[in-house]
Amino acid sequence: MSELQQAATLVRPHGLEADTWQRFEPTEAQALPPDDGDWLVPLAVWRAAHAELRGRRRPVGVLLAPADDPLELAEAGRIDEQGLALIAVDFPVYTDGRGYSIAYMLRTRLGWQGELRAVGDVLIDTIHYQARAGFDSFAVKPGHDPEQALKAFGTFTAAYQRSYSTPAARAGESAREEEAAAMPAVRPTHRPPQGAAGWQG
């Protein structure tokens, strides 16, 4: 593997890049991360200090656990993107389908149009299902070849439709018209992880 592949790596639509994001865990001595570097903060930290965090020089990301309610990110039914670099959703195990439900809600009901990242037990074989639910970046589990993961993502983008509506469709454009304009869907040979929301098998 290359030096990039040996380091923590993100898979994005345009290619691979080093993953510089760290998970922040609050302590009694330090409630917030330093205002430098790239930090993912738990939902509870964001809710307690979102006004302060929005004003930072380096925007933070919010890390949602499977049991978190994404509605807690919303204000007046939508998510304000100011000062929020990305939303990451943790998959403790790849078979946990709650992350798909969270992603689907973020993209559809809450109108999140920013970066949505899958982290945790993210495997080459799960990327196309996660992309269908709305994820657009992937922190692939160590030990999995990111080059192969990128190929899997490329296969998805060439052969699969999204299973969630775009902002244009939510604004009044027919989802049926959107699907007609997209490339024909290809039925996968195996089912998604149990509980994956938005699946159209």
Q: Give the model's pLDDT for residue 114.
A: 95
Q: Give the model's pLDDT for residue 185.
A: 38
Q: Give the model's pLDDT for residue 68.
A: 97
Q: Give the model's pLDDT for residue 123.
A: 92
Q: Give the model's pLDDT for residue 161.
A: 53
Name the strands in the sheet holding 84-91, side by side, starting at the edge strand that comes first in the sequence: 15-18, 9-12, 137-139, 115-120, 84-91, 60-64, 38-42, 21-23
User: Strand 9-12 relative to strand 137-139: parallel, antiparallel, unpaired?
Assistant: antiparallel
Q: Give the model's pLDDT for residue 164.
A: 62
Q: Give the model's pLDDT for residue 146.
A: 84
Q: Return the closest-CA partner of residue 13 out of 131, 118, 164.
A: 131
Q: Give the model's pLDDT for residue 7.
A: 53
CATH code for residues 3-181: 3.20.20
Segments making up each domain of the chain, as ranges: 3-181
Instruction: Tell me how far apart the alpha carbons of residues 130 and 175 are, in angstroms, rounded to a whole number.
Output: 20
pTM to 2 decimal places: 0.76
Q: Are 70 and 91 in contact (CB under 8 A)?
A: no
Q: Give the model's pLDDT for residue 196.
A: 57
Residues with Cβ within 8 Å of residue 175, at least 6 apart in sequence: 165, 169
Report mean pLDDT in 10-residue bins for the chain, 201 residues.
56 89 90 91 95 92 97 91 95 96 96 96 91 93 85 63 49 40 39 52 40
